[in-house]
Structure 1
Amino acid sequence: MAHVLVTGGTGFLGSHTIAQLLTAGHTVTTTVRSLARRPDVERMLTVAGAPHTDGVSYLEADLTSDRGWDRAMAEADYVLHMASPFPGTRPAHEDEVIVPAREGTLRVLRAARDAGVKRTVLTSSFAAVGYGHERTGRTFDESDWTRTDGPGVSAYIKSKAVAERAAWDFVANERDGLELTVVNPVGIFGPVLGPDYSASIRIIHAMMTGGMRAAPPIWTNTVDVRDAADLHLRAMTAPQAAGQRYLALAGEPISFHQIATAVRARVGEAAAKAPTGSAPAWLLRLLATVSPALRETVPQLGVVRRASNAKARKELDWSPRSNEDAVVATAESLVRLGLLNG
């Protein structure tokens, strides 16, 4: 068994990944921006049913500073770099997101190199793969890259592409065998472990609480958080994964209307407020002229981005849950943890 450093243990994916690492018998160190967040991680690991949670080490480290990273890497065989800035609001300038993402990634890679870590697995995103292209019916795969100067590319999307490119460039310039593998998840759904959840989960929350009265004509790709965590563990140790990218997604895109329908059908009364109808794109475009929140969604209206998970299935024997199972697991966990009133 190995000692694994997980950056961003307070995150949705990070906490699930730590739980799976513990279940597999690994020892774990996780970095948090403040040790005051340690109880939050411990509670999430308890909800996840992870064993040996008292054996997790917690260290304070921030992606914007060199302080603490040498200590965090000291015993690590592998690094799963999952921490990344995600703006709660639209930044005044894109560099507020792009620079921390790029520099934080390079900071972790430098520390991993200096500590002699066997392999770093970077959590990138489909945002680094399938955006900025003109509408196309083709299916994206690991050979594709987002066009950062293309249409509809937000600062966050650009930050993921820039940070991943910087990581590959860094490794290409090294001569000491530093190994990098990248996982590119799509929208991450699945069972939440506490009230601090991702933007994807807020879609389900809005549907179930009546905040989304009609489903917009938006399609998304999904992956269950448990499957995304599993893919990271496979990418961490598989010899053939060195130097590779892997898309993490369940399958075909699913529309918001299909998500609402699946949740209503399988969750029952708790999902009674989920929308049954769809909002026309023209109306949303009109409303977006006076609503900054809706303005962010306009470039995604009616856009269907298909992608392939064939590489991860073939090379790493990965078998993800379906779209429906992922979104229903999200809804069920929100009910189970009493989070629909928050």
Structure 2
Amino acid sequence: MTDKRVLITGVSGFIAGHTALEFLKAGYHVRGSVRNAAKGDAIAAVLGQHGDISRLEFVEADLGSDEGWAEAVKGCDCVAHLASPFPLAQPKDENDLIRPAVEGTLRVLKAAKAAGVKRFVQTSSMVAVIQGHRHEKTSFTEDDWSNLAAPGITAYQKSKTLAEKAGRQFMAEHGSDMHYATVNPGLVWGPALDRDIGSSVEIVRMFLAGKYPGAPKLKLLVVDVRDIAKMHRLAMETGEPSGGRYLGVCGDVWMMDMARMMREELGAKANKAPKFLLPNFVIKAIGLVDAAARTAIPDLDLDWKVDNSRTRQALGIEFISPREALLASARSLIDHGIV
């Protein structure tokens, strides 16, 4: 048990909900930010099905406004900043996504510093690490950054990279008395807490629902949401120096292998999962008319490798396997009646 209070921004999200439960389980008082206070009861109802929420409270604050953040961080020992815009489709103007991600990060950092918050963990992403290198570089560590000048970089990939860089620059200039770290998750699988699934679980849903006629030759860097939640807490508690960058990747999975694992474990429930590999030229042809396919083209055939041994050692974490994370997603989608 601890008397520490943590602010979790964007607590309605898939990762943030699990992160709130992780901190609650460890004895923290948890304050979750929501854009609309009316959402608090619904979030509490969901989280209450999975753990003790007697130390959970909510505060209204929006990344797009200064209003509410001073109150949100007041009395908090630490902040886990998970809130960030995620588009269902590519925006017409990439700055509609980049600007709120960067400005929102700085807004929360400034409020935290002004309030005397001691520790700040920002949720970044592996898309801030691996993108834009094509075949010239496919092996990555905590030291690597995405190349935003490369063709095919999406607005979301830019937003996560630039938001992390903005956070690190702010800390270099103003944050000497506040411990700072980032958690950089890959594609986040694992159990959904309710029917409001995370965007990264959508690909599992589409496989189960038969939305893919075949699987593209894409390798996914994945992680279980329960481990990402734990990483946020461990990054908050670590004795490592400020500035840590912790890569949340438990392994990698080719999409064709993903379909095979689902059929092996789920039987008839996964009989709509892809059964053959789509040639690259088919994906490129689809990309002429489909934005989602178009964004995947730069990553076709890339045999990503991530060495996050420094992360594992620094946080002392043993990751749930890709197979277990995938099947936890699939089973929760089935249990919630989503597929």
SS at match of 2:12: coil
Partners of 1:175 and 1:294 in 2: how far apart? 41
Name the counterpart of 2:30: 28
Residue 63 of structure 1 is matched in structure 2 by 63
Q: 2-side partners of 1:139 and 1:288: how far apart? A: 26
Distance 1:267 1:46, change over 3 A: farther
1:298 pairs with 2:297: yes
**Contact 1:20–1:230 under 8 Å retained in 2:** yes
Residue number in structure 1 paired with 2:12 = 10
Amino acid at match of 1:300: D
1:210 Cα deviation after fit? 1.0
- Distance in 2 (CA, whole Å) between partners of 1:137 and 1:165 is 21
1:164-243 aligned within 5 A: 164-174=164-174, 176-243=176-243
More moved, 268-277 vs 290-299: 290-299
Are 1:10 and 1:40, in contact at CA under 8 Å, matched by a contact in 2? no
Q: Are the aligned partners of 2:138 and 2:303 in contact in 1 as well (CA < 8 Å)?
A: no
Equivalent of residue 42 in structure 1, options 30, 41, 44: 44
- Farther off after superposition, 134-143 or 184-193: 134-143
Instruction: Quote how far apart the aligned CAs of 1:43 are.
Output: 3.2
Contact 2:263 2:270 in 1 (8 A): yes
Q: Which digits, 9 at most, give the CA deviation of each residue in 1:45-90, with x for residues without a partner?
A: 134x211x14311111000101000111111101000000111211
SS at structure 1 position matched to 2:260: helix
* Corresponding residue number in structure 1 for 2:322: 323
Q: For 1:336 and 1:290, locate their aligned partners in 2 and report how far apart those are by CA, in whole Å.
A: 34
Shift of 1:269: 2.3
TM-score (norm 2): 0.96
> How far apart in 2 are the matches of 1:250 and 1:136?
23
Instruction: Classify 1:304/1:43 alpha carbon distance in 2 versus 1 (closer, same or farther; 3 Å).
Output: farther
Q: In the superposition, relative to structure 1, how do residues 255 and 106 fare at CA in structure 2: closer, same or farther (>3 Å)?
A: same
Report the Cα offset of residue 176 of structure 1. Answer: 4.6
Which deviates more, 120-129 or 235-244?
235-244
Code of the aligned partner of 2:282:
L
Deviation larger for 78-87 or 190-199: 190-199
1:134 and 1:151 in contact (8 A); partners too: no
Give the partner amino acid of 2:255: F
Confirm or deny: 8 A CA contact 1:128 1:161 kept in the other structure.
yes
Q: 5+ residue gaps in structure 2? A: none
Alignment of 1:143-182 (within 5 A): 143-174=143-174, 176-182=176-182
1:127–1:157 Cα contact (<8 Å) kept = yes
1:282 aligns with 2:284: no
Q: Which moved more, 1:155-164 or 1:189-198?
A: 189-198
Kindly indicate whether residue 83 of structure 2 is the aligned counterpart of residue 83 of structure 1: yes
C-alpha displacement of 1:175: 5.8
Distance 1:136 1:321, change over 3 A: farther
**Distance (Å, rounded) in 2 between the aligned partners of 1:241 and 1:199:** 32
Aligned amino acid, residue 219 of structure 2: W
2:279 maps to 1:257? no
Unpaired stretches in structure 1, ≥5 consecutive residues: none
What is the letter of the counterpart of residue 286 of structure 2? L
Q: In the aligned structure 2, how far is the partner of 1:304 from the partner of 1:198?
A: 25
- Taking the TM superposition and a 5 Å limit, the aligned residue runs for 1:113-132 are 113-132=113-132
TM-score by length of 1: 0.95
Query: Deviation of residue 291 (structure 1)?
Result: 2.7
Task: Tell me what 1:99 maps to.
Answer: 99
Q: Are residues 138 and 205 of structure 1, via their aligned partners in 2, closer, same or farther at CA, if it must alter by over 3 Å?
A: closer
Q: Distance in 2 between matches of 1:46 and 1:308?
A: 36
Q: CA offset at residue 212 of structure 1?
A: 1.3
2: CA distance, partners of 1:175 / 1:322 = 36
When the two chains are superposed, the root-mean-square deviation of aligned CA atoms in Å is 1.3
| Distance in 2, Cα, partners of 1:285 & 1:184 | 29
Give the partner amino acid of 1:257: M
Q: How many residues align?
A: 337
The one-character-per-residue Cα deviations of 1:16-59 (angstroms, maximum 9, x if unpaired) are: 01011111111100000112222332233134x211x1431111
Q: Distance in 1 between matches of 2:21 and 2:168?
A: 28
